[in-house]
Amino acid sequence: MTATDDDEEVKQANQGFYRAFESLNIDNMRGAWATGDVTCVHPGWPLLKGVERVMDSWKRIFENTAMMQFTITGAVVRVEGGSAWVMCTENINTLVDGKVAEAKVQATNVFMKIEGRWLVVHHHGSPLGVTS
Amino acid sequence: MTATDDDEEVKQANQGFYRAFESLNIDNMRGAWATGDVTCVHPGWPLLKGVERVMDSWKRIFENTAMMQFTITGAVVRVEGGSAWVMCTENINTLVDGKVAEAKVQATNVFMKIEGRWLVVHHHGSPLGVTS
Protein backbone atom coordinates (compact mmCIF):
# COMPACT_ATOMS: atom_id res chain seq x y z
CA MET A 1 0.00 0.00 0.00
CA THR A 2 1.40 3.39 -0.95
CA ALA A 3 1.54 6.43 1.31
CA THR A 4 -1.20 8.00 -0.82
CA ASP A 5 -3.58 5.12 -0.16
CA ASP A 6 -2.88 5.42 3.55
CA ASP A 7 -3.44 9.20 3.42
CA GLU A 8 -6.81 8.62 1.76
CA GLU A 9 -7.77 5.93 4.27
CA VAL A 10 -6.87 8.21 7.18
CA LYS A 11 -8.86 11.09 5.65
CA GLN A 12 -11.84 8.76 5.37
CA ALA A 13 -11.38 7.60 8.97
CA ASN A 14 -11.32 11.25 10.04
CA GLN A 15 -14.54 11.91 8.12
CA GLY A 16 -16.00 8.76 9.70
CA PHE A 17 -15.20 10.12 13.16
CA TYR A 18 -17.15 13.31 12.38
CA ARG A 19 -20.07 11.36 10.85
CA ALA A 20 -20.21 9.39 14.11
CA PHE A 21 -20.10 12.67 16.04
CA GLU A 22 -23.00 14.08 13.97
CA SER A 23 -25.03 10.91 14.47
CA LEU A 24 -25.05 11.60 18.24
CA ASN A 25 -25.07 7.79 18.60
CA ILE A 26 -22.66 6.31 21.14
CA ASP A 27 -22.38 2.97 19.30
CA ASN A 28 -21.27 4.76 16.13
CA MET A 29 -18.75 6.78 18.12
CA ARG A 30 -17.42 3.70 19.90
CA GLY A 31 -16.91 2.07 16.48
CA ALA A 32 -14.67 4.92 15.33
CA TRP A 33 -12.31 4.50 18.32
CA ALA A 34 -9.73 1.96 19.35
CA THR A 35 -10.19 0.37 22.76
CA GLY A 36 -7.86 0.45 25.77
CA ASP A 37 -5.61 3.40 26.54
CA VAL A 38 -7.25 6.01 24.33
CA THR A 39 -7.29 9.67 25.40
CA CYS A 40 -9.49 12.70 24.71
CA VAL A 41 -9.51 16.44 25.36
CA HIS A 42 -12.80 18.23 24.67
CA PRO A 43 -12.63 22.05 24.41
CA GLY A 44 -11.87 23.37 27.91
CA TRP A 45 -12.00 19.89 29.50
CA PRO A 46 -9.08 18.14 31.21
CA LEU A 47 -7.53 15.03 29.64
CA LEU A 48 -9.75 11.93 29.78
CA LYS A 49 -7.97 8.57 29.89
CA GLY A 50 -9.29 5.14 28.93
CA VAL A 51 -12.05 4.15 26.55
CA GLU A 52 -14.78 3.97 29.20
CA ARG A 53 -14.22 7.52 30.50
CA VAL A 54 -13.90 8.79 26.95
CA MET A 55 -17.15 7.11 25.86
CA ASP A 56 -18.93 8.42 28.99
CA SER A 57 -17.92 11.94 27.92
CA TRP A 58 -19.39 11.41 24.43
CA LYS A 59 -22.62 10.08 25.98
CA ARG A 60 -22.92 13.25 28.08
CA ILE A 61 -22.25 15.46 25.05
CA PHE A 62 -24.76 13.56 22.91
CA GLU A 63 -27.44 13.69 25.65
CA ASN A 64 -27.13 17.48 25.76
CA THR A 65 -27.10 18.10 22.01
CA ALA A 66 -30.15 18.21 19.73
CA MET A 67 -28.25 18.64 16.45
CA MET A 68 -24.65 19.04 15.42
CA GLN A 69 -23.26 19.46 11.90
CA PHE A 70 -19.58 19.54 10.97
CA THR A 71 -17.84 21.04 7.99
CA ILE A 72 -14.16 20.08 8.18
CA THR A 73 -11.65 22.49 6.60
CA GLY A 74 -7.88 22.76 6.34
CA ALA A 75 -7.22 19.09 7.07
CA VAL A 76 -3.54 18.15 7.17
CA VAL A 77 -2.83 14.39 7.26
CA ARG A 78 0.45 12.84 8.31
CA VAL A 79 0.91 9.08 8.18
CA GLU A 80 3.98 7.42 9.73
CA GLY A 81 3.85 3.63 9.61
CA GLY A 82 0.82 2.40 11.52
CA SER A 83 0.23 5.77 13.19
CA ALA A 84 -1.30 8.91 11.73
CA TRP A 85 -2.43 12.32 12.89
CA VAL A 86 -4.87 14.73 11.33
CA MET A 87 -5.02 18.44 12.13
CA CYS A 88 -8.24 20.13 11.02
CA THR A 89 -10.76 22.86 11.77
CA GLU A 90 -14.24 21.80 12.80
CA ASN A 91 -16.82 24.34 11.61
CA ILE A 92 -19.79 23.40 13.76
CA ASN A 93 -23.48 24.25 13.62
CA THR A 94 -25.40 23.29 16.73
CA LEU A 95 -29.01 23.73 17.73
CA VAL A 96 -29.23 25.42 21.13
CA ASP A 97 -32.61 26.52 22.51
CA GLY A 98 -34.09 26.31 19.03
CA LYS A 99 -31.43 28.56 17.50
CA VAL A 100 -28.49 27.60 15.33
CA ALA A 101 -25.15 28.55 16.87
CA GLU A 102 -21.84 28.43 15.04
CA ALA A 103 -18.48 27.56 16.52
CA LYS A 104 -15.00 26.73 15.34
CA VAL A 105 -12.82 24.10 17.00
CA GLN A 106 -9.22 23.28 16.11
CA ALA A 107 -8.63 19.55 16.39
CA THR A 108 -5.74 17.11 16.48
CA ASN A 109 -6.90 13.52 15.88
CA VAL A 110 -4.42 10.65 16.28
CA PHE A 111 -5.18 7.32 14.58
CA MET A 112 -3.66 3.84 14.66
CA LYS A 113 -4.18 1.12 12.07
CA ILE A 114 -5.51 -1.85 13.99
CA GLU A 115 -6.47 -5.05 12.17
CA GLY A 116 -6.64 -3.12 8.90
CA ARG A 117 -8.79 -0.23 10.18
CA TRP A 118 -7.66 3.28 11.15
CA LEU A 119 -9.15 3.96 14.58
CA VAL A 120 -9.03 7.07 16.77
CA VAL A 121 -6.68 6.75 19.76
CA HIS A 122 -6.60 10.44 20.74
CA HIS A 123 -8.79 13.48 20.06
CA HIS A 124 -7.91 17.00 21.15
CA GLY A 125 -10.38 19.77 20.36
CA SER A 126 -9.88 23.40 21.40
CA PRO A 127 -11.84 26.61 20.84
CA LEU A 128 -10.79 28.75 17.90
CA GLY A 129 -13.19 31.66 18.43
CA VAL A 130 -16.90 31.85 17.71
CA THR A 131 -18.40 33.32 14.55
CA SER A 132 -21.67 35.25 14.30
CA MET B 1 15.51 -0.97 22.95
CA THR B 2 12.49 -1.80 25.10
CA ALA B 3 9.23 0.14 25.15
CA THR B 4 10.19 1.44 28.60
CA ASP B 5 13.42 2.96 27.29
CA ASP B 6 11.49 4.64 24.51
CA ASP B 7 8.90 5.93 26.99
CA GLU B 8 11.68 7.44 29.08
CA GLU B 9 13.35 8.99 26.04
CA VAL B 10 10.07 10.54 24.91
CA LYS B 11 9.42 11.90 28.42
CA GLN B 12 12.86 13.48 28.33
CA ALA B 13 12.24 14.91 24.86
CA ASN B 14 8.99 16.40 26.16
CA GLN B 15 10.84 17.95 29.11
CA GLY B 16 13.47 19.22 26.67
CA PHE B 17 10.76 20.94 24.62
CA TYR B 18 9.57 22.81 27.73
CA ARG B 19 13.15 23.70 28.79
CA ALA B 20 13.58 25.20 25.29
CA PHE B 21 10.27 27.06 25.74
CA GLU B 22 11.43 28.45 29.12
CA SER B 23 14.75 29.54 27.65
CA LEU B 24 12.88 31.90 25.29
CA ASN B 25 15.71 31.16 22.84
CA ILE B 26 14.70 30.38 19.26
CA ASP B 27 17.80 28.27 18.58
CA ASN B 28 16.98 26.04 21.54
CA MET B 29 13.40 25.74 20.34
CA ARG B 30 14.46 24.96 16.77
CA GLY B 31 16.70 22.19 18.16
CA ALA B 32 13.74 20.48 19.84
CA TRP B 33 11.76 20.27 16.56
CA ALA B 34 12.03 18.23 13.40
CA THR B 35 12.27 20.16 10.15
CA GLY B 36 9.92 20.12 7.15
CA ASP B 37 6.19 19.55 7.49
CA VAL B 38 5.80 20.20 11.20
CA THR B 39 2.61 21.77 12.56
CA CYS B 40 1.64 23.82 15.61
CA VAL B 41 -1.49 25.15 17.31
CA HIS B 42 -0.93 27.75 20.03
CA PRO B 43 -3.89 28.42 22.37
CA GLY B 44 -6.57 30.17 20.29
CA TRP B 45 -4.38 30.35 17.15
CA PRO B 46 -5.14 28.63 13.84
CA LEU B 47 -2.96 25.74 12.64
CA LEU B 48 0.55 26.77 11.54
CA LYS B 49 2.19 24.60 8.87
CA GLY B 50 5.89 24.23 8.07
CA VAL B 51 8.94 24.74 10.23
CA GLU B 52 9.53 28.36 9.19
CA ARG B 53 6.03 29.56 10.07
CA VAL B 54 6.14 27.56 13.29
CA MET B 55 9.52 29.04 14.28
CA ASP B 56 8.31 32.56 13.39
CA SER B 57 5.46 32.04 15.85
CA TRP B 58 7.87 31.03 18.61
CA LYS B 59 10.01 34.10 17.88
CA ARG B 60 6.96 36.34 18.29
CA ILE B 61 5.97 34.62 21.54
CA PHE B 62 9.52 34.86 22.91
CA GLU B 63 9.82 38.55 21.95
CA ASN B 64 6.68 39.31 23.94
CA THR B 65 7.53 37.27 27.03
CA ALA B 66 9.82 38.37 29.87
CA MET B 67 9.71 35.11 31.82
CA MET B 68 7.90 31.81 31.53
CA GLN B 69 8.13 28.79 33.84
CA PHE B 70 6.49 25.42 33.25
CA THR B 71 5.48 22.72 35.68
CA ILE B 72 4.26 19.73 33.67
CA THR B 73 1.66 17.48 35.29
CA GLY B 74 -0.41 14.47 34.29
CA ALA B 75 1.84 13.46 31.40
CA VAL B 76 0.64 10.41 29.48
CA VAL B 77 3.15 8.98 26.98
CA ARG B 78 2.28 6.66 24.12
CA VAL B 79 5.02 5.29 21.87
CA GLU B 80 4.16 3.40 18.67
CA GLY B 81 7.22 2.48 16.62
CA GLY B 82 9.04 5.64 15.60
CA SER B 83 6.13 7.90 16.54
CA ALA B 84 5.00 9.02 19.98
CA TRP B 85 2.53 11.40 21.51
CA VAL B 86 2.47 13.00 24.93
CA MET B 87 -0.61 14.51 26.53
CA CYS B 88 0.13 16.79 29.49
CA THR B 89 -0.95 19.85 31.42
CA GLU B 90 1.32 22.90 31.30
CA ASN B 91 1.09 24.84 34.58
CA ILE B 92 2.60 28.15 33.51
CA ASN B 93 3.91 31.14 35.44
CA THR B 94 4.54 34.20 33.30
CA LEU B 95 5.70 37.72 34.14
CA VAL B 96 3.26 40.26 32.71
CA ASP B 97 3.64 43.96 33.55
CA GLY B 98 5.83 43.05 36.51
CA LYS B 99 3.26 40.66 37.99
CA VAL B 100 3.27 36.88 37.96
CA ALA B 101 0.26 35.40 36.14
CA GLU B 102 -0.71 31.74 36.23
CA ALA B 103 -2.30 29.78 33.42
CA LYS B 104 -3.06 26.18 32.56
CA VAL B 105 -2.73 24.81 29.05
CA GLN B 106 -3.63 21.28 27.93
CA ALA B 107 -1.13 20.05 25.36
CA THR B 108 -0.77 17.26 22.83
CA ASN B 109 2.83 16.92 21.60
CA VAL B 110 3.65 14.51 18.77
CA PHE B 111 7.23 13.27 18.36
CA MET B 112 9.11 11.28 15.74
CA LYS B 113 12.42 9.49 16.25
CA ILE B 114 14.74 10.91 13.59
CA GLU B 115 18.38 9.81 13.42
CA GLY B 116 18.14 8.53 17.00
CA ARG B 117 16.53 11.64 18.51
CA TRP B 118 12.89 12.22 19.43
CA LEU B 119 11.89 15.52 17.85
CA VAL B 120 8.63 17.48 18.00
CA VAL B 121 6.58 17.30 14.78
CA HIS B 122 3.31 18.72 16.17
CA HIS B 123 2.34 20.79 19.21
CA HIS B 124 -1.24 21.61 20.14
CA GLY B 125 -1.83 23.77 23.21
CA SER B 126 -5.28 24.88 24.36
CA PRO B 127 -6.55 26.89 27.31
CA LEU B 128 -7.70 24.90 30.35
CA GLY B 129 -8.92 27.81 32.50
CA VAL B 130 -6.89 30.31 34.50
CA THR B 131 -6.13 30.01 38.19
CA SER B 132 -5.87 32.93 40.63
Q: Give, in order, the Cα–Cα distances in Å from A44 to each of A41, A47, A53, B11, B113.
A: 8, 10, 16, 24, 30
Residue B130 has pLDDT above 60, yes or no: no
**Cβ-based contacts of A41 with chain B (< 8 Å):** 87, 106, 108, 126
A126 with B39: Cβ contact below 8 A: no
A85 interface with B at CB cutoff 8 Å:
yes
pLDDT of residue B2: 58
**Model-level pTM?**
0.93
Task: Answer whether B83's CB lies under 8 Å from A80's CB.
Answer: yes
- Residue in B74, B82, B122 nearest the CB of A87: B122
pLDDT of residue A8: 96
pLDDT of residue A131: 41
pLDDT of residue A5: 92
pLDDT of residue B1: 52
Q: Phi/psi at A105 (nearest 5 deg)?
A: -125, 135
Residues 86..125 of A with a Cβ closer than 8 Å to B: which?
Answer: 87-89, 106, 108, 110, 112, 121-122, 124-125
Question: Distance (Å) from the C-alpha of residue B46 to the closest C-alpha of chain A?
Answer: 7
The ipTM is 0.91
Residue of B nearest to A79 (CA): B83
Residue B129 has pLDDT above 80, yes or no: no
Rounded to a whole number of angstroms, the CA Rg of chain A reads 14
Span B82-98, mean pLDDT? 92
Question: Distance (Å) from the C-alpha of residue B64 to the closest C-alpha of chain A?
Answer: 21
pLDDT digits (tens, 9 = 90+) for B36-80: 999 999 998 999 999 999 999 999 999 988 899 999 999 999 999
Q: Give how far the C-alpha of residue B50 lies from the chain's centroid of Cα atoms, to the nearest Å.
A: 16
Residue A1 has pLDDT above 60, yes or no: no
At B34 the three-state DSSP class reads coil
Question: Distance (Å) from the C-alpha of residue B69 to the closest C-alpha of chain A?
Answer: 20
- Our CA dihedral for A62, A31, B127, A130, rounded to 10 degrees, sits at -50
pLDDT of residue B32: 98
DSSP string over B37-69: S-EEE-TTPPPEESHHHHHHHHHHHHHT-S-EE
